[in-house]
Structure 1
Amino acid sequence: MSFDRNTPYVDYTGIDTLLGLQKPRTDEPAESAFIIATQVMELLFALVQERWEAARDALEADDVPGALAWLRRACKAQDVLNDSWGLLADMTPTEFNRFRDSFGEASGFQSYGYRKLEFLLGNKSAAMIRPHKAMSGVVDQLTGLLERPSLYDAALRLLHRRGLSVPDDRAERDWTRPYEPSAGVEEAWKAVYADDRPGNDLFLLAEALLDVAERVTGWRHRHLVAVKRTMGGKTGSGGSNGLTWLARNAEQDVFPELWSLRSTV
């Protein structure tokens, strides 16, 4: 158990590099927690993205069991992601104010990792790529997600291929546009829920997608409460009222017809 250089564990996982990435700009201890929590979240964004993309690709290939497996794995990662807000749950406004000025205009709104997740959910906007225009690789990645069907689009395309009443303009559309709810899509999902036998793979898919959606909403609410607790309604580092934007985002349903149909079945 003796090594002449870094242990294989350190080399394989990049521990030295990882632990060298925390560079607080003040002496406030809470700043370290803020940086570490943010970095943990970014790593988990990447893991969730990987699993959502795998689920989307499986749906496009008519592989529902494969998609279900990836969605279950994504939910596990989302649970850890949501729980990571606990790292900041006890930060007081006084602590936050002691290092807030140190990060200048930096804002979570600028996270391209989070933007990738929003694009995968169907919240598309070409304008949201603009903050990253100086990062060509990031622009290419975001553009690729912007121009491809989202996870939900892939599910609707599968329903359409199975002969359910998903409108043609939802099975093929301009993928760069944000998804808009459709009465026809709700009717298609209602038909799926009419057969809730365990062997109905489309019913299992609907519930798996709702598990994902519920966790996204949970993430948004945790974000809202964390901001409200640490800084209230002050202007955010990005220059806007962050609390207002977060509250509006938290109210937005993910995969909307899977929620609205529950009032009608």
Structure 2
Amino acid sequence: MNASKASADKEFSDTERIVSEEKAQLDFSQSMSYGDYLHLDEVLGAQHPLSPAHDEMLFIIQHQTSELWMKLMLHELNAATASVAADRYADSFKMLARVSRIMEQLVSAWTVLSTMTPPEYTAMRPYLASSSGFQSAQYRCIEFALGNKNAAMLKPHAHRADLLSQVEAAYRAPSLYDESLRLLARQGFDIPADHLERDWTQPYVASPEVEAAWLQVYRDPYAHWDLYQLGEKLTDIEDAFRLWRFRHVTTVERVIGFKRGTGGTGGVSYLRKMLDVVLFPEIWTVRTAL
């Protein structure tokens, strides 16, 4: 009996110890918690609907999460461009692949927003005043980093010196494609001098010589494997970016038709023009030439 009692007492003592340890592990008053690390109080407290409309919460969260994804996209895109400039192929490939996956998330976000019907959006639209996604500084930095340069797109950010500085930096820097062409030149391909050193604020102009260089790469991919992989990563990005733009257009048309945008743009008519913008032209024309 004594041995049995001692065993029971030990088992009870072990159980108490385990319970006590578990309680200690669940006490985050003295250490960093999940919410602390992610600053969830600030993130989850950043939604402030202005209208009585139930659906405004969807509208706010969709755009806020898109801005968070764009922040990560810029983080990856800028690092990838720097890696291409430094001939660090492997690093750039990983980052560029991630950029394409982020764009897939942004495409999916439009699917959620498209559940908002025209009457639901109309109920909250007056409360938006002149605010518009057109004014997103991060989106503009992405456009510029991908080579779609337009001086007029600096104006929407002129009221905020800090944002204007960020957008101007992207506007004046060589794009991902500019650095890719410089890389081709460093690998011995004949790239025109005016495509290697130019005014980076000007829109890119396609070149037969650049197409010829990519054609060499694509005709013998195993001899130029890294450059071939770079070309395909660029293709992936533009492919995903086109889908992102297309879903934007269709969602806007579905919700507001052909009304003007809150930021003063033509709405759908403006967005449709963006569908015709080609970021990496020779990457696409080379397919016909093969």
TM-score, normalization: structure 2? 0.88
* Alignment pair present for 1:52 and 2:52: no
Q: List per-residue Cα deviations over 1:156-190 (Å, max 9, x = no partner).
A: 11001111122111111101111122222111111
Say which is worse superposed, 17-26 or 217-226, in terms of deviation: 17-26
> How many Å apart are 1:199 and its aligned residue?
6.5
Aligned match for 2:247, one of 203, 219, 222: 222
2:226 aligns with 201
> How many Å apart are 1:3 and its aligned residue?
3.4
* Alignment pair present for 1:94 and 2:119: yes
Secondary structure of 1:29's match?
Answer: coil
1:137 aligns with 162
> How many Å apart are 1:249 and its aligned residue?
0.3
Change (3 A) 1:75 1:240: closer
2:191 aligns with 166
Amino acid at match of 2:34: Y
* Alignment pair present for 1:236 and 2:229: no
> 1:7 and 1:66 mapped to 2: Cα distance?
32
Say which is worse superposed, 65-74 or 126-135, in terms of deviation: 126-135
2:274 aligns with 249
Change (3 A) 1:219 1:234: same
Secondary structure of 2:212's match?
Answer: helix
Identity %: 38
Amino acid at match of 2:174: P
* Alignment pair present for 1:187 and 2:187: no
Q: CA RMSD in A?
A: 1.5
> How many Å apart are 1:200 and its aligned residue?
0.9
> 1:89 and 1:29 mapped to 2: Cα distance?
15
2:53 aligns with 28
- Rg: which structure is higher? 2
* Alignment pair present for 1:112 and 2:150: no
> How many Å apart are 1:100 and its aligned residue?
0.6
> 1:84 and 1:200 mapped to 2: Cα distance?
34
> 2:220 and 2:34 mapped to 1: Cα distance?
50
Q: Which runs of 5+ in 2 are unaligned?
A: 1-25
2:43 aligns with 18
Whether the 8 Å contact between 2:110 and 2:248 is mirrored in structure 1 is yes
> 2:72 and 2:138 mapped to 1: Cα distance?
10
1:78 aligns with 103
> 1:15 and 1:6 mapped to 2: Cα distance?
16
Whether the 8 Å contact between 1:235 and 1:241 is mirrored in structure 2 is yes
1:210 aligns with 235
TM-score, normalization: structure 1? 0.96
Whether the 8 Å contact between 1:217 and 1:254 is mirrored in structure 2 is no
1:178 aligns with 203
> 1:68 and 1:45 mapped to 2: Cα distance?
18
Secondary structure of 2:55's match?
Answer: helix
Q: How many residues are treated as equivalent by the alignment?
A: 265
> How many Å apart are 1:32 and its aligned residue?
0.6
Q: List per-residue Cα deviations over 1:57-101 (Å, max 9, x = no partner).
A: 011101112111111121222211221112212211111100011
> 2:224 and 2:260 mapped to 1: Cα distance?
51
